[in-house]
């Protein structure tokens, strides 16, 4: 059975592929966007077959990671820079998993409205349901992003980005992370990422692999 640390290379390969595609491929609409300012209206949405295949592959490897053999390593990770890098790696992976699927919603809706199928579209005229569609897609995207970061905490597995960086977050001895606490930790984790300049100074405990977020939720970072 694959161990969690063995998933470092599949996810590193996926990240390399995403980088290569972003460099070689022309700009592509993935997901949706709605802009209305100074009388100018723009609504765009779409996806592509390669992005959908990549999204499916990411989801499959993510699920396999969640059920891989857990790491027994309990050696604390003293640094916080790797955590910051892992967050952005996770953000890239999560967006490439979610946005191609989210782009199906406006694509199919526009197909039903016009009778013409296009993988990507952009128009400057509003249509009924644009705002409701945008809100629904945004809510689904946010929920998926929170789930992406929270489930590994409950499963005691690293997130894909943390796996590439070579560590994971685990609860302290005698502590547990319920789904509710994992979601709260994820939400505060977004705040911690935005205020990363405070991490080396607030509530830091290098010997135990902690900073202020870990002290709030009784967690710590350990190597894989």
* 89-108: pLDDT as tens digits: 999 999 999 999 989 988 99
Mean predicted confidence (pLDDT) in 209-215: 90
What pTM was computed for the model? 0.89
Cα torsion through 31, 151, 82, 193, rounded to 10: 60
**pLDDT at residue 73 greater than cutoff 70:** yes
105 Cβ contact list (under 8 Å, min separation 6): 32, 45, 133, 136, 137
- The percent of residues above 70 in pLDDT, for the chain, comes to 98
pLDDT score, position 1: 66
Lowest mean pLDDT across 21-25, 82-86, 103-107, 115-119: 21-25
Lowest mean pLDDT across 4-8, 34-38, 47-51, 163-167: 34-38
* Alpha carbon of residue 57 to chain centroid: 14
- Cβ-count burial of 76 within 10 angstroms (0-12 exposed, 13-18 middle, 19+ buried)? middle
Tell me the Ramachandran region of residue 145: left when phi exceeds 0, alpha when psi lies from -120 to 50, beta otherwise: alpha
- The percent of residues above 90 in pLDDT, for the chain, comes to 50
**pLDDT at residue 37 greater than cutoff 70:** yes
pLDDT score, position 164: 96
40 pLDDT band, cuts 50/70/90, is: confident
34 Cβ contact list (under 8 Å, min separation 6): 42, 43, 130, 131, 134
Q: How far apart are CA 169 and CA 73, in angstroms?
A: 11
Mean predicted confidence (pLDDT) in 182-198: 87
Question: Phi and psi at residue 122, in whole multiples of 5°?
Answer: -150, 135
Q: 130-155 and 81-102 helices cross at what angle (nearest 10)? A: 140
Which residue has tokens 């911690």?
192
């Amino acid at each position: 059975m694959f161990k969690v640390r063995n998933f470092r290379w599949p996810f590193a390969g996926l990240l390399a592929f995403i980088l290569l595609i972003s460099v070689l491929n022309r700009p592509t609409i993935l997901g949706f966007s709605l802009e209305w300012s100074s009388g100018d209206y723009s609504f765009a949405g779409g996806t592509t077959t390669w992005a959908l295949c990549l999204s499916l592959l990411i989801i499959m490897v993510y699920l396999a990671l969640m059920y891989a053999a857990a790491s027994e390593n309990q050696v604390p990770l003293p640094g916080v820079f790797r955590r910051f890098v892992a967050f952005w790696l996770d953000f890239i992976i999560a967006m490439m998993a979610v946005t191609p699927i989210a782009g199906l919603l406006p694509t199919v809706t526009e197909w039903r409205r016009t009778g013409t199928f296009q993988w990507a579209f952009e128009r400057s005229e509003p249509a009924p349901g644009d705002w409701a569609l945008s809100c629904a897609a945004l809510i689904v995207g946010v929920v998926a992003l929170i789930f992406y970061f929270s489930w590994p905490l409950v499963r005691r597995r690293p997130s894909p980005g943390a796996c590439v960086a070579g560590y994971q977050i685990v609860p302290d001895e005698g502590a547990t992370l319920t789904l509710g606490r994992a979601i709260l930790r994820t939400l505060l984790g977004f705040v911690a990422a935005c205020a990363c300049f405070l991490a080396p100074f607030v509530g830091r405990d290098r010997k135990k692999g902690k900073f202020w977020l870990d002290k709030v939720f009784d967690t710590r970072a350990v190597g894989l």
